[in-house]
Amino acid sequence: MSKVEIYDTTLRDGTQAENFNLQLEDKLKIAQKLDEIGVDYIEGGWPGSNPKDIHFFSRIKNYHFKKAQIVAFGSTHHPQKIPQTDPNLKTLIEAKTEVVTIFGKSWDLHVKDALRISLERNLEIISDSLAYLRSHVKKLFYDAEHFFDGFKDNPEYALATIKKAIEAGADCIIFCDTNGGTLPFELETIISQVKSKFPNISWGIHAHNDAGTAVANSLMAVHLGATQVQGTINGVGERCGNADLCSIIPALKLKMGIDCVTDEQLAKLTSVSRYITELLNIAHPPYLPYVGRSAFAHKGGVHVSAVKRNPQTYEHIPPQKVGNIRRILISELSGKSTILSKAKEWGIDLESEDPEVQKILQELKDLENQGFQFDVAEESFKLRIYKARGELKKHYFRLLTYRVHDYNTLDGRPIAEAEVWVEVKGRERHAISLGMGPVNALDRALRNALEEFYPRLKEMSLIDYRVRVLPETSGTEAKVRVLIESRDKECVWRTVGVSHDILEASLQALLDSIVYKLFLDERREKC
């Protein structure tokens, strides 16, 4: 079984992504999570490029990591400087990491058009920068930026830069597909030429996803002998992103027999993948291989029954190996068996003969005819199962009436105002609230009325609110479906409402969300 090391650059190259900006505290938290899933190297930042990264390296020294080594990243020295006086190399050494990665130019076009120096001078810069760093660090990696594009344009020159880095003592040469445009069979051809020139080097791969082939290129490289793979969690990174370690690690471990992380570390992959998007309050892409919410979701018909007989029929790996779960989607196509398997998934004890199963199935079909969709709002459906089973007998509260008023100020600003009457624990409460729009006003008014009785509602916040017109209706008369995503400290849940009236639909979803929170709290208190 060959040895392959995982090198994470979420904290450096990942932050080049649009909408992915990390604060120092975020970076420290993510570094700990990366150690939990067993990466070998964590590239913490480019200390020469910004003070936040300098602080990161000083703070990270106080953390203990089980496996991961911290890496500082930087460029070769400035063309107008020598290594001894180059501020970038200085900050790299001052980061005091045992491992340093330094990148240099492999593509003659970049040397000419970006650096604007001679090809010969670039070779000197590579040699001198690495030779200087060599004595200061334990491990020294060389990122050959744009290696594949460079090789296609001018193979002799690209290889000459690699030769300099090897001679100057790099421990590993990383071939970078910086623009992400290389296809796997091109990589195969180029790497085989490189290997014939340098048969005994340690080498790695750093791929970008502009052609949609970053994961494939990385795995192809390992297949051809790479011993280091660089990538990011969820494939975040500039433009279309970097190679996704959440796809690479399980492929290495489960498909290629490479024991890069332990079984326990692999089983944390899904939770770490989702942790990072939640930290940033961005949606977790549902279709992500291995770790996405839809990755093992089966929709109706033939597939569902085959998967129940033998999961291998429509699953390329067992989902639990990466900490994910199988999901049988609830839809108009589903029958009794879907409801039973969902109940099982949720830990609800329901048997095929139970009389409520037929009742639940009928309600599901009726509501779906009205335009409800439960595969994206499972908790609204869960509440209905609990209700059918009599476990939600008690009214936490009852909405007696509501009223929303939307008008504008003298200078034209819109004003939204909502009023609710509720009955809670035998008492009546009235609340009125302004809001940023009518739905927010309703949300606030409900909380005003209820928090006296249920103070833990303060823990709950709404993280997403979406509206869709149902396609079979049209124009402003259409029915709309509102989906709300809520969370508290521990859980995330999704609820749904449908009506011709967008405010009524929003209210249904809001009420379900509040009831689900109250139900959750009650269960937690029982434990």
> Phi/psi at 329 (nearest 5 deg)?
-75, 140
Residue 376 binds a copy of itself (CB under 8 A): yes
Site for a copy of itself in 51-80 (CB under 8 A): none
Contact characters 76-105, a copy of itself, x per CB under 8 A = ------------------------------
Q: Which of 285, 387, 453, 492 binds a copy of itself (CB under 8 A)?
A: 285
Pairing of β 41-45 and β 69-75:
parallel
What burial class does residue 511 get, using C-beta atoms within 10 Å of its C-beta: 0-12 exposed, 13-18 middle, 19+ buried? buried
Pairing of β 172-177 and β 492-499:
unpaired
Residue 394 binds a copy of itself (CB under 8 A): no
Site for a copy of itself in 434-463 (CB under 8 A): 435-440, 442-443, 461-463
Q: Which of 465, 488, 492, 520 binds a copy of itself (CB under 8 A)?
A: 465
Say what angle helices 51-60 and 24-36 make with each other, to 10 degrees: 50
Closest to 16 (Cα-Cα) out of 244, 292, 240, 214: 240
Q: Which is nearer to a copy of itself, 350 or 439 (CB)?
A: 439
* H/E element, 206: strand 203-207
Contact characters 9-28, a copy of itself, x per CB under 8 A = -------xxxx-x-x-xx--
Residue 411 binds a copy of itself (CB under 8 A): no
Site for a copy of itself in 99-138 (CB under 8 A): 109-110, 113-114
Give counts: helices (H), strands (E), the chain: 18, 16
Q: In angstroms, give the least distance from the CB of 461 to a copy of itself.
A: 6
Q: Which is nearer to a copy of itself, 309 or 393 (CB)?
A: 309
Q: Which of 401, 426, 526, 527 binds a copy of itself (CB under 8 A)?
A: 401
d(CA 374, CA 111): 56
Q: Which is nearer to a copy of itself, 91 or 389 (CB)?
A: 91
Q: Which of 38, 104, 292, 371 binds a copy of itself (CB under 8 A)?
A: 292
Q: Which is nearer to a copy of itself, 82 or 282 (CB)?
A: 282
Q: In angstroms, give the least distance from the CB of 353 to a copy of itself.
A: 25
What burial class does residue 489 get, using C-beta atoms within 10 Å of its C-beta: 0-12 exposed, 13-18 middle, 19+ buried? exposed
Q: Which of 10, 129, 217, 265 binds a copy of itself (CB under 8 A)?
A: 217
Q: Which is nearer to a copy of itself, 92 or 295 (CB)?
A: 295
Residue 45 binds a copy of itself (CB under 8 A): no
Closest to 376 (Cα-Cα) out of 524, 509, 258: 509
* H/E element, 439: helix 438-450
Residue 154 binds a copy of itself (CB under 8 A): no
Site for a copy of itself in 300-319 (CB under 8 A): 301-303, 306, 309-310, 312-317
From residue 344, how far is each of 300, 330, 348, 373, 493 by CA, in Å?
A: 17, 13, 6, 20, 18
Contact characters 158-187, a copy of itself, x per CB under 8 A = --------------------xxxx-xxx--
> Which of these ranges, 117-125, 266-274, 346-354, 401-409, lies near a copy of itself under the rule CB under 8 A?
401-409
Residue 223 binds a copy of itself (CB under 8 A): yes
Q: In angstroms, give the least distance from the CB of 17 to a copy of itself.
A: 7
For 477, half-sphere exposure in the C-beta direction (CA atoms, 13 angstrom radius) is: 3
> Which of these ranges, 86-94, 160-168, 198-206, 217-225, lies near a copy of itself under the rule CB under 8 A?
217-225
Q: In angstroms, give the least distance from the CB of 525 to a copy of itself.
A: 26
Three-state DSSP state, 454: coil
For 502, half-sphere exposure in the C-beta direction (CA atoms, 13 angstrom radius) is: 14
Residue 395 binds a copy of itself (CB under 8 A): no
d(CA 384, CA 516): 11
Closest to 45 (Cα-Cα) out of 54, 33, 35: 54
Tell me, by CB under 8 A, how many residues bind a copy of itself. Answer: 118
Q: Which of 80, 199, 200, 287 binds a copy of itself (CB under 8 A)?
A: 287
Residue 414 binds a copy of itself (CB under 8 A): yes
Residue 245 binds a copy of itself (CB under 8 A): no
d(CA 323, CA 269): 6
* H/E element, 417: strand 414-424
d(CA 387, CA 390): 5
Rg (CA), the chain: 28
Q: Which is nearer to a copy of itself, 366 or 501 (CB)?
A: 501
Residue 375 binds a copy of itself (CB under 8 A): yes
How wide is the angle at C-alpha 312 spanned by C-alphas 311 and 314, nearest 5°? 80
Q: In angstroms, give the least distance from the CB of 527 to a copy of itself.
A: 28
Q: Which of 31, 297, 343, 445 binds a copy of itself (CB under 8 A)?
A: 297
How wide is the angle at C-alpha 194 spanned by C-alphas 193 and 198, nearest 5°? 125
Residue 323 binds a copy of itself (CB under 8 A): no
What burial class does residue 156 get, using C-beta atoms within 10 Å of its C-beta: 0-12 exposed, 13-18 middle, 19+ buried? exposed
